[in-house]
Structure 1
Amino acid sequence: MHVVVNAAASADGKLSSRRREQIAISGEADFDRVDRLRADSDAVVVGVGTVLADDPSLTVKDADRRERRLEDGEPANPARVVVDSKARTPLDAEIADDAARTYVCVSEAAPVDRRMELADRPDTELVTAGEDRVDLLRAFAALQAEGLEQIMVEGGGELIFSLFEVGLVDELRVFVGPKVIGGRDAPTLADGEGFVEEFPTLALESVDRIDDGVLLTWTADGGE
Structure 2
Amino acid sequence: MFDAILSASPERPFIVAQLGQSLDGRIATTHGESRWINGPAALDHLHRLRAHVDAVVVGVGTVIADDPQLTVRRVDGPQPVRVIIDPRGRLPASARCLAVGVEPCLVIGDHERVVPEGAELLVVASTEGLLAPSAIVTALFARGFRKILVEGGAATVSNFIDANMVDRLHILVAPMILGSGIQGLSLLPVDRLGDALRPETTVHVLDGGDVLFDCDLRHQRRG
The verdict on a shared fold, with TM-score over 0.5 as the criterion, is: yes
Given the alignment, which residue of 125, 131, 134 partners 1:129? 125
| Letter in structure 1 aligned against 2:121 | E
Give the superposition deviation at 1:27.
Answer: 1.6
Contact 1:9 1:177 in 2 (8 A): yes
Give the superposition deviation at 1:200.
Answer: 5.4
Give the superposition deviation at 1:197.
Answer: 4.2
For 2:54 and 2:210, how far apart are their aligned partners in 1?
28
Give the superposition deviation at 1:123.
Answer: 4.8
Gaps of 5+ in 1: 70-76, 109-114
The reply to whether residue 195 of structure 1 matches residue 173 of structure 2 is: no
Give the superposition deviation at 1:80.
Answer: 0.8
Give the number of aligned pairs: 204
Give the superposition deviation at 1:33.
Answer: 1.4
Gaps of 5+ in 2: 1-12
Given the alignment, which residue of 130, 142, 147 partners 1:145? 142
Counterpart mapping for 1:1-224 below 5 A? 1-62=13-74, 65-66=76-77, 69=78, 77-99=79-101, 100-108=103-111, 116-118=113-115, 121-131=117-127, 132-183=129-180, 186-191=181-186, 194-197=188-191, 199=195, 201-210=197-206, 211-221=208-218
Cα pair distance change 1:200/1:96, threshold 3 Å: farther
Contact 2:57 2:151 in 1 (8 A): yes
Secondary structure of residue in 2 paired with 1:29: helix
Contact 2:203 2:214 in 1 (8 A): yes
Cα pair distance change 1:197/1:104, threshold 3 Å: farther
What value does the CA root-mean-square deviation take over the aligned residues?
2.2
Contact 1:17 1:23 in 2 (8 A): no
Secondary structure of residue in 1 paired with 2:17: strand
For 1:91 and 1:124, how far apart are their aligned partners in 2?
13
**What CA deviation, in whole Å up to 9, does each residue of 1:170-218 have, x standing for no partner?**
11111110111122xx3222236x3244855142331111121211111
**What CA deviation, in whole Å up to 9, does each residue of 1:31-65 have, x standing for no partner?**
11111111111011111110110010000104x72
Contact 2:109 2:121 in 1 (8 A): no
Give the superposition deviation at 1:124.
Answer: 1.9
For 2:159 and 2:178, how far apart are their aligned partners in 1?
24
**What CA deviation, in whole Å up to 9, does each residue of 1:99-124 have, x standing for no partner?**
1431111234xxxxxx5221x63452
Same amino acid, percent of matched pairs: 29
